[in-house]
Amino acid sequence: MVKVYAVALALGVVTLLVVLLGGALAENLGRVQRDPGERLGVNGKSAIGGIIGFGMGGLSAEFSPLDFSWQLSLAISAGAALLSVFWVRYAVRQSEA
C-alpha cells in the first residue's frame, strides 16, 4: 500500500504545481479565463486536496512507529482525505468572502 500512497501524493503535488504555475502564467499573460484554478472550481480544488491528503495520511500511517495494520492505515488515509476536502472548501469559502 505504500506505493499507492506515494503515487497519490506525487500525483496530487504535481497537479497542485500545475494549477499554481498555470494560474501565475495566465495572470501574467492577461488571460484570466485560462486560469486552471478558476476552471476547476471548488470541486476540482477539493479533489486535489483529497488526493494529497490521502497520500500524506497513508504514508504517515504506514511509517508510524505504532506499526498499524494496512486496514487501519487505509482508514486513516481516508480520514485524512476527507479532512483535506473540508479544509480546502473552508479555505476557498474564506478567500471568496
Q: Is the pLDDT of residue 97 over 80?
A: no
Q: Is the pLDDT of residue 26 over 80?
A: yes
Q: Give Cα 18 distance to the centre of its chain.
A: 12
Q: 3-state SS string over the chain?
A: CHHHHHHHHHHHHHHHHHHHHHHHHHHHHCCHHHCHHHHHHHHHHHHHHHHHHHHHHHHHHHCCCCCCCHHHHHHHHHHHHHHHHHHHHHHHHHHHC
**pTM of the full predicted structure?**
0.90
Q: Which pLDDT value is given to residue 24?
A: 94
Per residue in 37-96, pLDDT (tens digit) is 889 999 999 999 999 999 999 999 999 999 899 999 999 999 999 999 999 999 999 988
